């Protein structure tokens, strides 16, 4: 591309604009630079707070998809793609969810997780191909993550997912009027210009991470993978930290002493929910699993008298 007409001017996009507060960044002493960056970063969580209504709707849509066998699939490039892959990879150990339940797709594939590939975000064919490869269809939710809202790879993926009848969500850190792709829901975060102009790994990345944290944590809570504020749906036999955590959860919800709680955890094969149902319903692991299935994986109805 040598013709300026072939390269769109993105100067109006918030994340591409210069931040007046940091124009002398290279001249500041280190304490002043740290103070400035901390001050500027406040806009990230403020932007998320202003989008709570849209985020809540996204949680509702994703939880509904999970309840009907659908997946949440993130599409992004660069920092946005890496954050989607990170969130997806953390769901199985946190919620004992199937690895295919939340999927992160980054332009350029896994190599782009470790090494920046700046020439892949414009590849619309690859975005559409990723949808086809994953056989994305209703009731899946396809979520595009693009700080500036313009990434062609993400746009193509959302268009292809829409053609398959999927719910589509776009998460961006610029104004809605700057976004040209159609989506069922837009989450537009006004994070403003970055401290370092155009470096969306900063405020935009922070705000994006906050939203993804909310989305999967609260959707998983909606489908019974959380009890109170405890991540009870874990396989605790993976390491010593998880065995300890699982034991303490059983202690908290059963009143058992530590040794008895740990013995119960081992008897349940490391499954905290199964162990608690075994205790409260006075049953074996097979029956505990049956009861959890009958109650859609929800623990709370089973922490009372035997069913």
Strands (E), the chain: 72-76, 102-106, 141-145, 167-172, 185-188
DSSP label of 199: -
Distance CA 3, CA 207 (A): 35
**HSE-up of 229 (CA within 13 Å, CB side)?**
0
198 dihedral zone (left: phi>0; alpha: psi -120 to 50; beta): left
Judge whether 16 counts as a catalytic residue.
no
Query: Which member of 27, 54, 57, 90 is catalytic?
Result: 90
Query: Which member of 121, 124, 177, 194 is catalytic?
Result: 121
Q: H or E segment at 160?
A: helix 152-163
Q: Which residues pair with 169 in a beta bridge?
A: 143, 185
Give just the sign of the alpha carbon dihedral 180, 182, 188, 194: negative
Distance CA 164, CA 96 (A): 28
The token duo for 249 is: 């959860």
Task: Measure CA of the first residue to CA of the last residue in the chain; give whole Å.
Answer: 69
Q: List active site positions.
A: 90, 121
């Amino acid at each position: 591309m040598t013709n300026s007409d072939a390269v769109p001017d993105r100067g109006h996009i918030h994340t591409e604009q210069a931040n007046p507060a940091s124009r002398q960044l290279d001249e500041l002493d280190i304490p002043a630079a740290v103070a400035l960056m901390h001050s500027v970063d406040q806009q990230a969580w403020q932007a998320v707070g202003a989008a709570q209504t849209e985020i809540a709707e996204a949680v509702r849509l994703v939880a509904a998809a999970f309840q009907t066998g659908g997946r949440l699939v993130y599409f992004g490039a660069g920092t946005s793609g890496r954050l989607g892959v990170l969130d997806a990879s953390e769901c199985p150990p946190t919620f004992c969810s199937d690895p295919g339940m939340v999927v992160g797709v980054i332009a350029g594939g896994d190599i782009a997780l470790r090494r920046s590939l700046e020439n892949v975000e414009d590849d619309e064919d690859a975005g559409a191909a990723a949808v086809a490869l994953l056989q994305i269809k209703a009731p899946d939710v396809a979520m595009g993550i693009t700080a500036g809202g313009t990434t062609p790879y993400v746009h193509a993926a959302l268009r292809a997912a829409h053609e398959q009848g999927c719910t589509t969500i776009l998460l961006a850190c610029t104004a809605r009027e700057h976004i040209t792709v159609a989506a069922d829901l837009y989450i537009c975060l006004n994070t403003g210009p970055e401290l370092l102009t155009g470096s969306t790994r900063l405020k935009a990345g922070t705000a994006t991470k906050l939203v993804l944290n909310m989305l999967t944590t609260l959707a998983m809570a909606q489908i019974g993978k959380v009890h109170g504020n405890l991540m009870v749906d874990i396989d605790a036999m993976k390491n010593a930290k998880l065995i300890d955590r699982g034991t303490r959860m059983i202690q908290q919800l059963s009143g058992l002493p530590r040794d008895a709680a740990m013995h119960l955890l081992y008897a349940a094969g490391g499954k905290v929910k199964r162990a608690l149902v075994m205790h409260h319903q006075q049953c074996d692991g097979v029956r505990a699993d049956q009861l959890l299935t009958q109650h859609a994986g929800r623990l709370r109805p089973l922490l009372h008298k035997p069913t």
